[in-house]
Structure 1
Amino acid sequence: MRGGTSRAVFFAENDIAKYSSEDKNKIILTALGSPDPYGRQIDGLGGGISSLSKVGIIGKSSTSGIDLTFTFGQVDVRTPIIDWKGTCGNMMAAVGPYGIEENLIKTRDPITKVRILATNTSQLIEAHISVKDGQYQVEGDYAIAGVPGTGSPVKLDFINPSGNTTGSILPTGSPTDTIQISPNKTISVSIVDVTIPVVFVRAEDVSADITKFPPDLDADTALQSLLETIRVHASQKMQLSNGVDNSLISSKAVPKVVMIGSSTSYQTSDNRYIATHETDLCIRAISMGLTHRTIPATVSMCLAAAANINNTIVHDTIGDAMQGPLRIGHPAGVIEVGAEMKQVGGSWQAKRITTYRTARRIMEGSILVPLSSLG
């Protein structure tokens, strides 16, 4: 399935449930072609980068008020690791269509609301799916940056997505924190947990050009090492790891680290020109140690929330000029995300985060897994 700017292999929960956790992971790794020391996943269905190396397990919920369950796994390309700690906003867009096409839920024309539980984070999502004669309408005129062509829009509402991982929107209690990189160097960051924990850092503070293409940023090994150091230190502040040694952090996918820059003109990966007035800010997100080719949808939602919180790096970057949805410039173009925020007794709450994606079933069938891979 393609969901937004990501792609994943979806398994029916009933098909995968009969296997032990160990065998389940081995099946998934083999299916996607991991580990691949060459970074291509040539022997599986993965695409060699984080946004194309994902898995979803979809089940019909037995809980009242929930239609489907979605268990997400981020499959590492080069190592035999599946990270089950986060969720994926892009692939969330494909869950409802999958459920409709698999006859797991009842439909209602012209829009079917599907309530999905992201089991990794206990997050409730309402997906609004275009339906005609009981069938998901794949085709439409909605375009998203990073995906060729158009499709039917899938509206995603993340309901009360505050502090799903750490228990608080501001895990450290502060909108900004200082990280000691070395005895002579400190860097200011904002750590925000809405849909997923994200560490925001100013691009200028890490001497990065926010308009560069992802492969060029990936080639800067000193920059990537610095960003990973920042991520690990921030993880310790959130109590998601036991120390500042990279080997002690339990997840490559959580938290994410994102470089922030003021709105500026730039060229997209498909050679389009984005003018300064078309965005509120520009970003480059790091996922699984590499620069994301677009933006993780969960990161875009966290950005929209952080933009509303006074004194975060995101808020300070755009100032008080934001009206309506946040317009985020990423390598492939612009995404708009709306955030309904509320401050209660000095604490922030995210009531609802809304974004639009498209989705399509690309293929269906059987994956052949050699018996030796289960040995």
Structure 2
Amino acid sequence: MQTAIPCTMMRGGTSRGPYFLATDLPADWATQEQVLLAAMGSPNRQQIDGIGGGTSLTSKAAILSRSSHPEADVDYLFAQVSIDKLYVDIAPSCGNILAGVGPFAIDAGLVKPVDDETVVRVRNVNTDKLIEVRVKTPNGQVEYEGDTRIDGVEGTAAPVLLNFLDVAGSKTGSLLPTGNVLDLIEGVPVTCIDAAVPMVLIAAHSLGKTGAESKIELDGDAELLAHIEKIRLAASWKMGLGDASGKVVPKVALVSAPRNGGTLTSRYFVPDNCHASHAVTGAICVSTSVLLPGSVSAPLARQVGPNGLVQLEHPSGQIEIMLDAAPTAQGIEIRRAGVVRTARKLFCGELYVPSSIWAGNHSKAS
């Protein structure tokens, strides 16, 4: 016997995964975690027995519910489902999967659409931060087709504007959780920063790299990955995040000078392999570091563009972040970080998990 769970599969930005209503899942996290693992087919490198795609970009899920927060319409919990371990990480957020949250919330009836454009106010449960999501809704319906192109995704689609509010200190409570713009960890200069996601930034040349290497080249360098992980684990303690073993936060990026007209080059790690393009939250964090004098990024970056435009070069092209920042006595305040993504609904239906894992709220069996 199997339990049927309503599910919508969507591409959000450069990621893909199932989107669920919280009311269709178990109420307790322990069972919910087992349901997500079974749904994705973990632990198995190919995720043969589930809908996961065998990569960190396609082993993600979104769980939505109506929000009780006075400034939010919906609550969004992001889940990074481990591929080869029985573990689901809900510490980080994901800005790419977030791109599908607005359209899903409207289609699912959580938010009433208005003509032309609908603003969905989202509370990210992972970080307790607010995001304003603007979705094209001509004639009161979500528009998925359009002419907006983002690097890392084939074709075009309708734009989804994400405005991240109050991004500093997403997990640590501070933009610079160590109290320093620059730290020396394992003999390597790093910038530990928390803007939308906690990160450890390293100048690529500090590890003997140019920063222009491909994902394949970086993933194939076992010595480099081991060195990065050693730095990451040590930095996590300094940032007040504790033991990061087996966890995906903090993330890491190797930064270098731009080569194709952008502001900075970034190679983002997730964290045990290089992202094929770039995470949205990670792009906000790396972009913010450009504005910090003394950071590892600042001397490598070109001048920030008009209206706070930062163009990050990544393995698949570029991602653009618009930063609304103001100087403060402590450094800078990031009032808003905007990014344009796209999303596409792939299918709606029922996803099945063994009833031995969960019998369901109102169980349907097959």
User: Do they superpose with TM above 0.5?
Assistant: yes
Q: How far does residue 342 in structure 1 lie from its aligned partner after superposition?
A: 1.9
1:64 shift after superposition = 2.6
Name the count of aligned residue pairs.
Answer: 348
Report the alpha carbon displacement of residue 208 of structure 1 after superposing the two structures with TM.
Answer: 2.2
Secondary structure of the corresponding residue to residue 63 of structure 1: coil
87-96 or 57-66: bigger deviation: 57-66
1:330-372 CA deviation, whole Å, 9 max, x = no partner? 0110111111122222242211001000011111111111234
Alignment partners' CA distance in 1, 2:326 and 2:298 = 15
Is the Cα–Cα contact under 8 Å of residues 60 and 67 in structure 1 kept in the other structure?
yes
Structure 1 residue corresponding to 2:167, chosen from 146, 161, 167: 161
Q: Tell me the CA shift for residue 215 of structure 1.
A: 2.0
Are positions 1:176 and 2:177 aligned together?
A: no
Question: 1:251: Cα distance to partner?
Answer: 5.5
Quote the residue 1:269 is aligned against.
none
What are the superposed Cα offsets for residues 28-70 of structure 1, whole Å, 9 maximum, x if unpaired? 001011111xx21121111111111101101112333211110
Distance 1:175 1:5 in 2: 30
Q: Which residue of 1 is the match for residue 21 of structure 2?
A: 12
Amino acid at match of 2:218: L
In structure 1, how many angstroms separate the alpha carbons of the residues matched to 2:336 and 2:51?
A: 34
- Equivalence for 2:364: none
- Paired with 1:212 and 1:316, the residues of 2 have a C-alpha distance of 20
Matched, 1:100 2:106: yes
- Aligned position for 1:77: 83
What is the alpha-carbon distance in structure 2 between the residues aligned to residue 334 and residue 249 of structure 1?
Answer: 29
Corresponding residue for 2:336?
352
Instruction: Find the counterpart in structure 1 of residue 48 from structure 2.
Output: 42
1:91 aligns with 2:97: yes
Q: Give the deviation of 1:173 after TM superposition.
A: 1.4
Q: Secondary structure at the match of 1:136?
A: coil
Q: Gaps spanning 5+ residues in structure 2: where?
A: 1-9, 360-366
Residue in structure 1 matched with residue 220 of structure 2 by the alignment = 219
Query: Which one-letter code corresponds to 2:117 in the other structure?
Result: I
Is 1:144 the equivalent of 2:155?
no
RMSD of the TM alignment (CA)?
Answer: 1.5
Structure of greater relative contact order (alpha carbons < 8 Å, 6+ residues apart) = 2
- Contact preservation (8 Å) 1:83, 1:251: no
Specify the alignment match of 1:195 in structure 2: 196
Q: Which residue of 2 aligns with 1:267?
A: none
Q: How does 1:286-297 map to 2 (within 5 A)?
A: 286-297=269-280
Structure 1: 5+ residue stretches without partners: 181-185, 242-247, 265-275
1:322 aligned partner, one-letter code: V
Whole-angstrom distance in 2 between the partners of 1:109 and 1:315: 43
CA distance in structure 1 between the partners assigned to 2:193 and 2:204 by the alignment: 17
Structure 1 residue 311 corresponds to structure 2 residue 320: no
Q: Percent identity?
A: 34
CA displacement 1:253-272 (0-9 Å, x = unmatched): 111000011112xxxxxxxx
What whole-Å deviation, never above 9, does each CA across 1:130-177 have from its counterpart, x for those lacking one? 011110110110000000000111111001111021111011111111
User: Matched residues in 2 for 1:250 and 1:300: separation?
Assistant: 23
Aligned partner of 1:299 in structure 2 is 282
Partner Cα separation in structure 1 for residue 105 and residue 246 of structure 2: 29
CA distance in 2, matches of 1:251, 1:151: 35
Alpha carbons 1:240, 1:250 under 8 Å: kept:
no
1:334 alignment counterpart: 318
Write the distance in 2 (CA, Å) between the matches of 1:191 and 1:106.
40
Counterpart secondary structure, 2:346: coil
> Equivalent residue for 1:283?
266
Report the Cα offset of residue 374 of structure 1: 5.4
Q: How does 1:249-288 map to 2 (within 5 A)?
A: 249=244, 252-264=247-259, 276=260, 278-288=261-271
Q: Secondary structure at the match of 1:367?
A: strand
The offset of 1:373, in angstroms, is 4.3
Distance 1:146 1:195 in 2: 21
Correspondence 1:323 to 2:305: yes
Distance 1:53 1:26 in 2: 14
4+ aligned runs moved over 6 Å, structure 1: none
3-state SS of paired residue (2:284): helix
Of 362, 365, 374, which aligns to 2:346?
A: 362
SS in 2 for 1:116: strand
In the TM superposition, residue 216 of structure 1 has moved relative to its aligned partner by 2.0
SS at match of 2:304: coil
Aligned mates of 2:217, 2:358 — CA distance in 1: 38
Q: Which residue of 2 aligns with 1:126?
A: 132
Decide whether the 8 Å contact of 2:253 with 2:266 is kept in 1.
yes
